[in-house]
Amino acid sequence: MNTKSVWRGALAAALVVASHAAFAHAIPKIQQPGPGATVSAPNEVSIEFGEALEPTFSSLIVTTQSGTQVSKEKSSVDSNDKKHMSVPLGHLDPGVYTVQWKAFAADGHRTQGHYNFTVK
């Protein structure tokens, strides 16, 4: 085997390992209400992630455009489906709301993000 073959093999192996590591992060797959959605009075916000979450370190809050938190209860990760996190909501007036999420995958990787939805 020549040096080029060894380097190509090593590079291919590194790419496979890197691609598997990239998928180990908890990234949202389904968001309800979804980003940019206009909805009527949702009673909760929920996110389905691609990886199981560590409940102690994962969170989901909902705020008004001015930053006032409207999700009064703590978010929770479903004990039967560790990929599902939700937070209940009370009455929401018409307006734009921001969902802020932090997800710690069971393997220790951390992701976070935010998006807006509108209540009509």
CATH of the domain at 48: 2.60.40.1220
Q: In this structure, is residue 21 part of a structural domain?
A: no
Nearest CA to 20 among 81, 82, 107, 115? 107
Q: In this structure, is residue 5 part of a structural domain?
A: no
Sheet order of strands, 76-77 included: 28-32, 44-49, 84-88, 76-77
pLDDT of amino acid 25: 84
Q: In this structure, is residue 19 part of a structural domain?
A: no
Q: How many residues does the chain have?
A: 120
Nearest CA to 95 among 46, 56, 28, 39? 39
> 75 is in which domain, residue-wise?
26-119
Question: If DSSP codes are grouped into helix, strand and coil, which group holds residue 29?
Answer: strand
Q: In this structure, is residue 104 part of a structural domain?
A: yes
Nearest CA to 102 among 87, 89, 90, 119? 87
For 91, which DSSP code? -
Q: In this structure, is residue 11 part of a structural domain?
A: no
- Domain count of the fold of the chain: 1
Q: In this structure, is residue 51 part of a structural domain?
A: yes
Which pLDDT tens digits describe the chain residue by residue (120 residues)? 555 554 454 444 444 444 344 456 899 999 999 999 999 989 999 999 999 999 999 999 999 999 999 999 999 999 999 999 999 999 999 999 999 999 999 889 999 999 999 999
Q: In this structure, is residue 2 part of a structural domain?
A: no
Backbone φ/ψ region at 36: left (φ over 0), alpha (ψ -120 to 50), beta: left
Q: In this structure, is residue 58 part of a structural domain?
A: yes
